[in-house]
Amino acid sequence: MGKKADKYLETQEWSIVERGFHREKNAVSESLFSIGNEYCGLRGYAEEGATAPSLQGCYFNGVYEWSEKETETAYKGIIRRGHYMVNAADPIKTEIFVGGEKLDTGKCDLCDFERRLDLRSGLYVRTFSVRGVKFTFSRFLSMTEPCNLYQKIEVESTQPVSLEIKLSVDFATKHWGKKGRWEKVSSHAEGNYAQIVGKTQSTGQYLACAQEVEASGDCAFRPEEDALSAGVRITATVAGKFALTKHVACYADKTGETKGKMPAPSPKKSFEEALAENISYYKKFWAERDIVIEGDEENQQGIRFCIFQLGQTYHGACPTDNIGAKGLTGEAYSGHAFWDTETYCLPYYLFNDPAAARDLLLFRYHTLAQAKERAKMLDCKGACYPIATLNGNEACDLWQHASLQFQPSTGVAYGIRHYVTVTGDEQFLIDYGMEMLLEISRFLRSRGEYGADGRFGYFCVMGPDEFQMMVNHNCYTNYMAKKTFEYTVECFEKYGDRTRLNVEKEELAAFSACAEKMYLPYDETRKLFEQHDGFFRLPHIDIKSIPAEEFPLYHHWSYDRIYRNDMIKQPDVLMLMLLHAGDFTLEQKRANYEYYEPRCIHESSLSPSVHSILASELKKEDDALNFFGFAARLDLDDYNRNTCEGLHTTSIAAAWLNIVYGFGGVRSDKDLLVLSPSIPSIWRRYAFRLQYRGRVISVEVEKGRAAVSVEGDPLRAIVCGREETLSGTREFEL
């Protein structure tokens, strides 16, 4: 792929560890050592400050700002104002003076530096010594009481040393290093307690924060307030050990209803009590979701890091939350959710936490009105879901993406079908899903056209491969629309009399006609689906001839140059063959993999896992394992050299898919679950668990055998190519 690992972390199964301060990698480490609980996300920045590459970031799900200026445009369909996830208050702002000198870890001569993130507790710890004084900084976010953050600072010195520490909540934060977006509403500081309320400038959302500090030794507290912060200054003389523990409670008001009134405080817990609750939470979490790999320690660490981050990013706490491309770990992509949510992320939650998967889809239901408005902007009917959003409104101001890509709409339809197939939750379909399906189908019908040859399809679109713009009959777009029409009609024929929706038979017949006459460019002789009409006639480019220093191409090639060849950014036809795996023969998958894989440069982090999954099915072990290693350790080894901007959260979900759908051979696009496991030659064993239609399925794979256990009612499934009734534990030869 022309991309290499940049390794500087230790390989440990249950921890992320950096020994020695890698100053030039500091912003990368801040992303990797991020902590979160869906409600809030906190980058792993040094709370005391460091003159080193850094992005101080604290983010609250659903707290955002409008872009400062409206776009000067008279063109219909192009948004006038976007929105973005705003950097919130710094809840752990710390200033430390030792002997009157300010501590700056980017400038100091550090000894015995280490930072460690424990995947079994969510505890992030940094330790180092400066001129004989040892500092230990610890922090974690509560997984059971998500408003709560805990911070501890421990100082140890064999000689008496004067210490001055200011702990505060600070709203003077910057977004991408630019001016802040918060106004102070009120503040109060007294003794060891301080509280402050801020409000976003354009959206009128409130964030109320309160901190309480306790000390382990003799010290003096002096409360302090200024224009955008409130806190307390502690002075002490330390000879031996001294510790400060800070509890912060943060309350985000996304609607502005409270007008900044501070909620009643939650019951007070010590640092140790709250940490014990986190440990208990993660013990259950890992018992249900761990993936074990024996014989490959690097990928074992990689997949556990991915699962941990998925748990931090989202667990269905609120149906108004979604999953941004960077989660809550950075400001790239402005915190927006894309079509990745329903195609790459949803399966993880479907098979591990169906209630959370339901809430992800409810986000789309609750923003259906905005999707209908977006369709009107594009001169269409029904609902067109945005390519990028936090609040349901389209936030992408690049018309070639926002107006030409329909992957979000067909992805929502696919997600509804996938959810119902895996969970059997027909009531969700009746109460919510069918209304979304109907409006999406109305959009797809109004946006599509019948060509001169009588075939239906989509002209002037952009599929998943964003290196091909304004193309006709993108195969992915046409096929996903066809499946959406068919599923919508099927649902209304089966459940139409149980919904509040009145749909004329003529409209359903029109949907069926669109599906039946859908144009799917296909070369029967070569078994190749053409990515779009005319793709096979494009000039060919040998992607291996592109110098490594020219990546990423968006930074080094003119925009139009990218579109003038058959180079692929990310899987398009191959993505289709993964989502609807049961519709295609192994012969078709092989032919299309071998044609499109050499043309893909993997400029998207979502790309490697799809190739690995298909390579595994096609028994191409080297490809499968190499692509998987890239996916599972994409951020840990900074393959794309942009982890500093935040983690690739949806790609992290794809790495989970890579194990379950790739090596596990799971397919879930039909009525019967498929399991067809294989094992890479370098692995001794791997195991994973799934929830499926009220059952728990455990899969354990070794050389030459696979054991499948089912807790709950017997299950009809296809295992290793044969239809079986699974009950208890069964073993199968590989």
What gap in Å lies between CA 453 and CA 628, rounded to an integer?
A: 43
What gap in Å lies between CA 673 and CA 660, rounded to an integer?
A: 12
Q: What is the dihedral of CA 332, 333, 338, 343, to 10 degrees?
A: -30
Number of C-beta neighbours around residue 490 at 10 A: 14
CB 462 within 8 A of CB 400: yes
Q: How many Cα atoms are found within 13 Å in the side-chain-facing hemisphere of 226? A: 9
- Report the candidate in 143, 6, 642 with the shortest Cα–Cα distance to residue 651: 642
Mapped onto helix, strand or coil, the DSSP state of residue 448 is: coil
- Report the candidate in 26, 79, 84, 89 with the shortest Cα–Cα distance to residue 57: 89
- Report the candidate in 25, 26, 49, 67 with the shortest Cα–Cα distance to residue 178: 67
From 3.40.350.10, 1.50.10.10, 3.30.70.860, 3.40.190.10, which CATH number describes the 290-670 domain? 1.50.10.10
What gap in Å lies between CA 542 and CA 668, rounded to an integer?
A: 35
What gap in Å lies between CA 505 and CA 333, rounded to an integer?
A: 42
**pLDDT value of position 261:** 83
- Of 466, 486, 603, 645, the catalytic one is 466
- Which neighbouring-strand residues pair with 58? 42
- Which neighbouring-strand residues pair with 175? 178
**pTM of the predicted protein model:** 0.96
For 456-520, give the DSSP string.
EE--SB--S-TTS-SBSS-HHHHHHHHHHHHHHHHHHHHHGGGSS----HHHHHHHHHHHHTB--
- Fold observed for domain 10-284: Beta-galactosidase; Chain A, domain 5 (2.70.98)
What gap in Å lies between CA 380 and CA 447, rounded to an integer?
A: 6
Q: Which residues of the chain have pLDDT under 50?
A: none
Where would I find the H helices in 74-142?
none
- Report the candidate in 581, 613, 579 with the shortest Cα–Cα distance to residue 597: 613
Give the chain's count of helices (H) and strands (E): 20, 28
What gap in Å lies between CA 468 and CA 568, rounded to an integer?
A: 8
| Domain limits, the chain | 10-284, 290-670
Where would I find the H helices in 260-367?
271-289, 297-313, 340, 346-352, 354-366
Mapped onto helix, strand or coil, the DSSP state of residue 639 is: coil
225 is catalytic: no
